[in-house]
Amino acid sequence: VQHAAGGGFRRRAPIQIMKITSSREVYRCKLFRVTEDHAVDLKTGFEIKRSVVRHAGSAVMMAVDEKNRVLLVRQYRLPAGKNLWELPAGRLDPGEKPLQAARRELIEETGYRARRWTRLASFWVSPGYVQERMIIYLATDLTAGEATPMDDERIETRWFTRRELAKMIDDRKIEDAKTMIGFMTWRQRR
Protein backbone atom coordinates (compact mmCIF):
# COMPACT_ATOMS: atom_id res chain seq x y z
CA VAL A 1 0.00 0.00 0.00
CA GLN A 2 1.26 3.49 -0.76
CA HIS A 3 -0.15 7.04 -0.57
CA ALA A 4 -1.68 8.33 -3.80
CA ALA A 5 -2.18 11.94 -4.81
CA GLY A 6 -5.19 13.41 -3.01
CA GLY A 7 -4.59 11.52 0.25
CA GLY A 8 -5.99 8.14 -0.80
CA PHE A 9 -4.23 4.81 -0.95
CA ARG A 10 -3.47 2.54 -3.88
CA ARG A 11 -2.22 -1.00 -3.75
CA ARG A 12 1.13 -1.99 -5.20
CA ALA A 13 1.26 -5.15 -7.24
CA PRO A 14 2.00 -8.15 -5.01
CA ILE A 15 5.32 -9.91 -5.46
CA GLN A 16 4.91 -12.86 -7.80
CA ILE A 17 8.04 -15.00 -8.11
CA MET A 18 11.31 -13.86 -6.56
CA LYS A 19 14.49 -15.28 -8.00
CA ILE A 20 17.81 -14.99 -6.19
CA THR A 21 20.22 -13.53 -8.73
CA SER A 22 23.26 -13.46 -6.46
CA SER A 23 24.23 -14.81 -3.05
CA ARG A 24 27.60 -14.31 -1.39
CA GLU A 25 28.65 -15.84 1.93
CA VAL A 26 30.18 -13.19 4.19
CA TYR A 27 30.43 -15.09 7.50
CA ARG A 28 30.33 -18.69 8.77
CA CYS A 29 30.49 -20.27 12.23
CA LYS A 30 29.34 -23.60 13.69
CA LEU A 31 25.80 -22.32 14.38
CA PHE A 32 24.96 -20.37 11.22
CA ARG A 33 26.26 -18.53 8.18
CA VAL A 34 25.45 -15.10 6.74
CA THR A 35 24.89 -14.37 3.06
CA GLU A 36 24.32 -11.14 1.16
CA ASP A 37 21.53 -11.87 -1.29
CA HIS A 38 19.97 -10.05 -4.22
CA ALA A 39 16.57 -11.17 -5.53
CA VAL A 40 14.35 -9.93 -8.33
CA ASP A 41 10.61 -10.36 -9.02
CA LEU A 42 10.62 -11.94 -12.47
CA LYS A 43 7.37 -10.24 -13.50
CA THR A 44 7.77 -6.69 -12.18
CA GLY A 45 11.52 -6.26 -11.76
CA PHE A 46 11.10 -5.38 -8.06
CA GLU A 47 14.40 -6.00 -6.20
CA ILE A 48 15.29 -6.97 -2.65
CA LYS A 49 18.81 -6.88 -1.19
CA ARG A 50 19.34 -8.44 2.25
CA SER A 51 21.91 -9.90 4.54
CA VAL A 52 20.42 -13.24 5.62
CA VAL A 53 21.34 -15.37 8.61
CA ARG A 54 21.18 -18.96 7.31
CA HIS A 55 20.35 -21.46 10.06
CA ALA A 56 19.63 -25.20 9.78
CA GLY A 57 16.49 -24.90 11.91
CA SER A 58 15.62 -25.89 15.46
CA ALA A 59 13.53 -28.45 17.28
CA VAL A 60 11.64 -27.38 20.40
CA MET A 61 10.37 -29.81 23.01
CA MET A 62 7.34 -29.21 25.20
CA ALA A 63 7.59 -32.03 27.72
CA VAL A 64 4.33 -32.50 29.64
CA ASP A 65 4.06 -34.99 32.49
CA GLU A 66 1.12 -37.06 33.77
CA LYS A 67 0.15 -34.17 36.11
CA ASN A 68 -0.15 -31.86 33.07
CA ARG A 69 2.91 -29.86 34.12
CA VAL A 70 5.34 -28.41 31.57
CA LEU A 71 9.11 -28.77 31.88
CA LEU A 72 11.08 -25.57 31.31
CA VAL A 73 14.80 -24.95 31.32
CA ARG A 74 16.51 -21.85 32.66
CA GLN A 75 19.80 -20.76 31.22
CA TYR A 76 21.82 -17.63 30.61
CA ARG A 77 21.17 -16.21 27.15
CA LEU A 78 23.99 -13.94 26.06
CA PRO A 79 21.99 -11.89 23.49
CA ALA A 80 19.25 -11.23 26.10
CA GLY A 81 21.85 -10.52 28.79
CA LYS A 82 20.04 -12.61 31.41
CA ASN A 83 18.69 -16.01 32.44
CA LEU A 84 15.47 -17.01 30.70
CA TRP A 85 12.88 -19.70 31.42
CA GLU A 86 12.05 -21.42 28.15
CA LEU A 87 11.10 -24.65 26.45
CA PRO A 88 14.21 -26.72 25.71
CA ALA A 89 15.36 -26.49 22.10
CA GLY A 90 18.30 -27.20 19.89
CA ARG A 91 19.69 -26.81 16.41
CA LEU A 92 19.32 -29.54 13.83
CA ASP A 93 22.62 -31.28 13.11
CA PRO A 94 23.56 -31.83 9.43
CA GLY A 95 21.27 -34.46 7.90
CA GLU A 96 19.11 -34.65 11.04
CA LYS A 97 15.31 -34.52 10.85
CA PRO A 98 13.48 -32.20 13.31
CA LEU A 99 11.98 -35.08 15.35
CA GLN A 100 15.40 -36.75 15.64
CA ALA A 101 16.84 -33.47 16.93
CA ALA A 102 13.94 -33.09 19.39
CA ARG A 103 14.55 -36.55 20.85
CA ARG A 104 18.30 -35.94 21.13
CA GLU A 105 17.98 -32.45 22.61
CA LEU A 106 15.37 -33.46 25.20
CA ILE A 107 17.77 -36.08 26.56
CA GLU A 108 20.81 -33.78 26.41
CA GLU A 109 19.17 -30.80 28.12
CA THR A 110 16.82 -32.50 30.59
CA GLY A 111 17.62 -36.22 30.74
CA TYR A 112 14.01 -37.08 29.86
CA ARG A 113 12.92 -39.45 27.10
CA ALA A 114 9.42 -39.39 25.63
CA ARG A 115 7.50 -42.31 24.17
CA ARG A 116 4.91 -40.08 22.44
CA TRP A 117 5.64 -37.15 20.15
CA THR A 118 3.12 -34.80 18.53
CA ARG A 119 3.95 -31.86 16.29
CA LEU A 120 2.40 -28.69 17.79
CA ALA A 121 3.61 -25.80 15.64
CA SER A 122 6.11 -24.63 13.08
CA PHE A 123 7.16 -21.02 12.56
CA TRP A 124 9.84 -18.72 11.13
CA VAL A 125 11.79 -17.11 13.96
CA SER A 126 12.33 -13.70 12.33
CA PRO A 127 11.75 -14.00 8.56
CA GLY A 128 12.91 -10.46 7.78
CA TYR A 129 16.55 -11.54 8.01
CA VAL A 130 16.82 -15.01 9.60
CA GLN A 131 16.23 -18.27 7.72
CA GLU A 132 15.42 -20.39 10.77
CA ARG A 133 12.29 -22.47 11.18
CA MET A 134 11.43 -23.79 14.63
CA ILE A 135 9.26 -26.87 15.01
CA ILE A 136 7.63 -27.43 18.39
CA TYR A 137 6.84 -30.98 19.52
CA LEU A 138 4.69 -32.09 22.44
CA ALA A 139 6.61 -34.83 24.28
CA THR A 140 4.59 -37.08 26.62
CA ASP A 141 4.81 -40.46 28.34
CA LEU A 142 8.12 -39.44 29.87
CA THR A 143 10.93 -41.37 31.53
CA ALA A 144 13.53 -39.55 33.64
CA GLY A 145 17.26 -39.95 33.03
CA GLU A 146 20.51 -38.03 33.31
CA ALA A 147 21.02 -34.83 31.34
CA THR A 148 24.18 -34.38 29.25
CA PRO A 149 24.34 -30.65 28.44
CA MET A 150 27.05 -29.17 26.23
CA ASP A 151 30.14 -27.67 27.85
CA ASP A 152 28.88 -24.10 27.39
CA GLU A 153 25.44 -24.83 28.89
CA ARG A 154 24.44 -24.48 32.54
CA ILE A 155 20.83 -25.60 32.61
CA GLU A 156 18.33 -25.59 35.47
CA THR A 157 15.06 -27.52 34.94
CA ARG A 158 11.71 -27.09 36.67
CA TRP A 159 8.11 -28.23 36.20
CA PHE A 160 5.37 -25.59 35.91
CA THR A 161 1.58 -25.91 36.00
CA ARG A 162 -0.59 -24.43 33.25
CA ARG A 163 -1.72 -21.71 35.63
CA GLU A 164 1.87 -20.84 36.62
CA LEU A 165 2.95 -20.63 32.97
CA ALA A 166 -0.03 -18.46 31.99
CA LYS A 167 0.73 -16.09 34.87
CA MET A 168 4.45 -15.95 34.01
CA ILE A 169 3.56 -15.01 30.42
CA ASP A 170 1.03 -12.41 31.59
CA ASP A 171 3.57 -10.98 34.06
CA ARG A 172 6.26 -10.86 31.34
CA LYS A 173 8.45 -13.30 33.26
CA ILE A 174 8.58 -15.53 30.20
CA GLU A 175 10.00 -13.51 27.32
CA ASP A 176 10.90 -16.33 24.95
CA ALA A 177 8.76 -16.51 21.78
CA LYS A 178 8.98 -20.28 21.24
CA THR A 179 7.78 -20.88 24.79
CA MET A 180 4.82 -18.54 24.36
CA ILE A 181 3.89 -20.06 20.98
CA GLY A 182 4.22 -23.61 22.31
CA PHE A 183 2.17 -22.89 25.42
CA MET A 184 -0.59 -21.01 23.57
CA THR A 185 -0.86 -23.72 20.91
CA TRP A 186 -0.96 -26.51 23.52
CA ARG A 187 -3.51 -24.63 25.65
CA GLN A 188 -5.78 -24.08 22.61
CA ARG A 189 -5.83 -27.80 21.82
CA ARG A 190 -6.83 -28.85 25.33
Task: Note the pLDDT tens digit of each residue in 92-137.
Answer: 999 999 999 999 999 999 999 999 999 999 999 999 999 999 999 9
73 by Cβ neighbours in 10 Å (0-12 / 13-18 / 19+) ranks as buried
- The alpha carbon torsion through 185, 150, 94, 17 (nearest 10 deg) reads 40
Answer for the pair 183, 169: CB distance below 8 angstroms, yes or no: yes
Task: Note the pLDDT tens digit of each residue in 27-82.
Answer: 999 999 999 999 999 888 899 999 999 999 999 999 999 999 999 999 999 999 99
pTM of the model: 0.86
137, 139, 142, 143, 145 from 114: Cα distances, Å = 11, 6, 4, 6, 11
DSSP tag of 1:
-
CA–CA distance, 136 with 87 (Å, rounded to integer): 9
Task: Note the pLDDT tens digit of each residue in 158-181.
Answer: 999 999 999 999 999 999 999 999
